[in-house]
Structure 1
């Protein structure tokens, strides 16, 4: 069974201009992530590895066993 294609009820905006506005977080969150990763690269002494919680290790091992089946 063929699916119908939907057409726009109105023609596209003339000139191909961008008519949509991004919310503030659409630019702020990627910028924040980029800056934080850049700071970790520039100053790796601030990035501390976790001590390794045994519960977390057991959970990861259990998930690995289930995926291996």
Structure 2
């Protein structure tokens, strides 16, 4: 004797014509905000107060900016 469990099936994509994908809002917003913040640091490292005391890091970011803008 076997016990069966009810299964839940999704509607067929061919029948509905669309795929139901649900992504939380933060899964899109947080990577976008991080990308913009890092891009701003690369483009203008003089505005970043945290790296103002480290001339070697400022030089590296400046050289990375020069490489990107070539």
What is the TM-score when the length of structure 2 is the normalising length? 0.46
Between Structure 1 and Structure 2, the one with more helix by share is 2
User: Which structure ranks higher in relative contact order (CA pairs < 8 Å, sequence separation ≥ 6)?
Assistant: 2
